[in-house]
Amino acid sequence: MTQPAELVERVITALERLAELGETIADEWTYVHDLETVWSARLRAVAAAWTATQAAATAPSAPLGELEAALDELVAEAGRISDPHRAIDWLSTVPQVALVALGEAAW
């Protein structure tokens, strides 16, 4: 069975792709990489905390199979983005949706 840390890495790979697309807007380069850096770190911290504790209270809110399907669909939707401006918007959207799916606050 896939673990949340593996699922998070799929989401981070999608973020990296969105950042590559977004960085084609020269004026947004710093913003794009700040988003990628902060959200990747947050997602990895959540995955690490969950893995470290393995406690039921910190487990993802959905069964892992459902969580995997939801995050795979999120990654697929992000993969359909071809407009750099939309990619920049999704650099915030994708991690927040993933965090909610993982039962975490999206701040």
Residue 100 to residue 69: CA distance in whole angstroms: 14
Global pTM reads 0.86
Ordered by start, the domain boundaries in the chain are: 4-101
In 3D space, the residue among 99, 94, 105 whose CA is nearest the CA of residue 4 turns out to be 99
Per-residue pLDDT of the chain (107 residues; tens, 9 = 90+): 567 789 999 999 999 999 999 999 999 999 999 999 999 999 999 989 877 765 445 555 557 788 899 999 999 999 999 999 999 999 999 999 999 988 888 77
* Encoded tokens for 3: 């673990």
8 Å CB contact between 70 and 60: no
8 Å CB contact between 91 and 32: yes
Output the pLDDT for position 61: 54
